[in-house]
Amino acid sequence: MLGNVFAIGLVAVFFAQIYYYLRYFFVIFWAQRKQKKGKLDFQTEKPPVSVVICSKNESENLHKFLPSILEQDYPNFEVVVVNDGSTDTTSEVLSIFKEKYNNLYETYIPQSAEIISRKKLGLTLGVKAAKNEILLFTDADCKAVSRHWISKVVRNFTPETEFVLGCGLYMYEKTFINRLISYDTLTIALQYLGFAFAGRPYMGVGRNLAYRKSTFMSHKGFAGLLHVQSGDDDLFVNHWATKQNTRVELSAQSITASLPKKSFREWLSQKDRHLSTSSMYKKTDLWRLGGELGTRTLFYLFFVLSLFFWTPMAGAIALSLFCLRLIFQIVLLNLSARKLGQTERFFHIDVVLFDIFLPLVNLFLKTRNKLFRRKNQLYKWK
């Protein structure tokens, strides 16, 4: 009898999970449907754009990936690279590129500069050096997968638009850690882009993010965020992006691809830094995000309890719903990856492992930070 009670609870959270998937994670399909019906307006003008990149000791990455930015098929754009006191050959690489590309500019952060967040200082200097109103941000270890990256992002800047959220994924490698990172990154992207498309933007990623220079200046840049080392992308969006002023870009030609971490420890450190600001999101955003995580946790809990207190009905319901949800996830993730041009990736039964494992990693990192990290301990960025 108790198993039947847990099975009924499982049914409830199953439909709650399906609601989250259909409402938010299906963002690519809803956007394409809306575009086909002519309900998405894109501007045809191509205003001048400034691409801003912060770099610290990334001469090798700049040499590999900066050409994908500099060779964009766009009539009027500049690329501003902020050299954060690099001690490698960054200046030499940029000097060589500047001889070939007349739209490349370099500015500097002195090595002696003392500030909690050098990344925010670098971005601020880059914004001030930028000549144009439309600002597009990415990282030194990122490449634009298409020569139409700028065009696809900028077409969303209708008169009322201040923020455009893009999708930043990771390059493909045949390793387990790459599968884990790919799953984590894709699900996070579908979530924040889906929430924004539904009118509830709560974050963006600095690997592929655009906003107006006037927006940055009117909010006094990162004022109010200078006491934390991270948050130059997600917290800035969380503070100022709204349903009315934010759009998302989801075409395969608008993606940026970054170098993935090679080891579990490196990825864990990166994950730790990304999570360091999530507790500072607006309470309404935390409740919505907590709703998905909470119903997911209850799903697995009720599934186990339904099997532990076995009855024929409880077992049949539990196994059926588990399989249905898994199939739904696999289809959604693989179709979304294909729509984003990630044709080499294919998710299968390992989705279950990642779906359970990643929330535990997040819980571990948040608990550890709360208990052991000193209040003003800083994260370093590279």
Over residues 244-254, the pLDDT tens digits come to 999 999 999 99
256 three-state secondary structure: strand
pLDDT for res 356 = 93
How far, in Å, CA of 185 to CA of 332, rounded? 14
How far, in Å, CA of 191 to CA of 180, rounded? 17
Q: Are 224 and 269 in contact (CB under 8 A)?
A: no
pLDDT for res 242 = 96
- Between CA 178 and CA 182, with CA 181 as vertex, the angle to 5 degrees is 80
| Ramachandran angles phi, psi of 372, nearest 5° | -120, -20
Quote the mean pLDDT of the chain. Answer: 90
**What are the structural domains of the chain?**
2-25+284-371 (no CATH), 39-279 (3.90.550.10)
The region, left, alpha or beta by phi > 0 then psi within -120 to 50, assigned to residue 377 is beta
- Angle of helix 283-308 relative to helix 312-339, nearest 10 degrees, comes to 140
- Angle of helix 312-339 relative to helix 27-36, nearest 10 degrees, comes to 60
22 three-state secondary structure: helix
The DSSP secondary-structure symbol of 57 reads S
Low-confidence ranges of the chain (pLDDT < 50): 374-382
Cross-strand bridge partners of residue 66: none
Q: Are 311 and 265 in contact (CB under 8 A)?
A: no
pLDDT for res 362 = 87
Nearest C-alpha neighbor of 53 from the set 266, 256, 267: 256
Q: Are 183 and 293 in contact (CB under 8 A)?
A: no
pLDDT tens per residue, range 10-58 = 999 999 999 999 999 999 999 988 888 888 889 999 999 999 999 999 9
pLDDT for res 114 = 61
How far, in Å, CA of 279 to CA of 282, rounded? 8
pLDDT for res 376 = 42
pLDDT for res 373 = 58
